[in-house]
Chains A and B, each alone.
Chain A
Amino acid sequence: MSRQGTRLDAKKVNSELFTLTYGALVSQLMKDYDNADDVNKQLERMGYNIGIRLIEDYLARTGTGRCYDFRDTAEKIQAGFRLYLGISPVITNWSSAGDEFSLQFETNPLTEFVELPDNCLGLKYMNVLTGVLRGACEMVQMDVTSWFVQDQLKGDNVTELRVKFIKRLEDAIPAGED
């Protein structure tokens, strides 16, 4: 009943601290690099580093097993967003081959308080997410790529992240292990 303590869950942290920290990082990158493309790349790389470690945490916490198909993967990615950012993006726009889908975000803690000035239109503010997905999936033998097709920061109604399956990665077995 009491909100007095305001003690956050030990495994949670205030989303504004997260939002503003990410914002500080992005704005530092914008200062350090000349053009938005390089910033996008750098954000993707950082996301990749996060993803390859975050998947470990995800597997440990959810006790989830191998995906049956890519639809299964989509749901697990969705669950990941719920677990880590407290949001549930909508899975939609499946391609007929079943190898591509979209995640639509209504709200997103990463972009709270964010407005893009006119000279930053090339910036993909949330590009870190594409890296996270690539890194996390790579660690469970899936090669995926993703990109933003709509962005609320650029005036679209929703933010849409398109995710595409490329191939299954085979475990590389060191020579002589067979």
Chain B
Amino acid sequence: MNNTITISQIRPKSILDKSLSKGRGEVSLSCFALLFCELVQYCQNRVYTVPELQNKLAEMGQEVGVKLLDLYFVREKNCKRENKLLNMLLFIKTTLWKGLFGREADKLEHANDDERIYYLIEKEPLVNRYISVPKDKGNLNCAVFIAGIIESILNCSGFTAKVTAHWHKGTTYMVQFEESVIARDKQMEER
């Protein structure tokens, strides 16, 4: 006789019960490229202008970033988050980039004239490899999706920033931190 009371229709088999994968799984690049292509088309069909499209792509990237943040800090950093700005940026440039794209980002630079601004430079971002931007789309850079990933990783770890993608030396991600983040970082250094 079955006299249990069903609360949920799905038996809870939480993903937390499984051990965390090492993250070395791979899928074919063609697969990813075509999926990304569908994602871009879908976004494009729902907006009218290039800036809107960029925003939409960035939002999608943010969804991904928020999940990567936990994943990488649990797996790579023994659950300890970075609390220094430069270390956080270096973590993105090296650990995160190696995990996601198989190699470090090409360059990390600090703007000369504005201490709030950093540049992360990538000659050929993975997502742009098979994308040729039509003339009427002007300065569209689909790597804004990656910029979204970076932005949400920074924001969710307490380094509030705005990240944008630009066509410069390949693709340059411009990271602009809020004033308060810079001030806090300086305070920590003084201690």
Contacts and interface: CB of A to CB of B under 8 A. Distances in A.
Interface string B66-89: 011001000000000000000000
A162 to B, nearest CB: 21
Contact of B26 (A9, A25, A113): A9
Contact of A118 (B10, B26, B71): B10
Interface in A32-87: 32, 42, 46, 49-50, 53-54, 57, 83-86
Contact of B42 (A6, A46, A121, A155): A46
Contacts of B158: none
Interface in B35-55: 35-39, 41-42, 46
Interface stretch (B11-19, B105-113, B167-175, B176-184): B11-19
How big is chain B's contact interface, by range? Answer: 35 or more
A115 interface: yes
B63 interface: yes
Majority-rule SS of A interface residues = helix
Contacts of B41: 49
A24 B27 contact: no
B34 A50 contact: yes
B27 A20 contact: no
Contacts of B28: 11-13, 83-86
Given A109-B27, A121-B9, A155-B13, A23 B38 contact: no
A114 interface: yes
Interface of B: 8-11, 13-15, 21, 23, 25-32, 34-39, 41-42, 46, 59-61, 63-64, 67-68, 71, 98-103, 126
Interface of A: 5-18, 20-25, 27-29, 32, 42, 46, 49-50, 53-54, 57, 83-86, 109, 112-116, 118, 121, 153-155
Given A8-B26, A28-B60, A46-B38, 7 more contacts: A12-B27, A17-B32, A20-B67, A25-B60, A85-B27, A86-B28, A116-B10
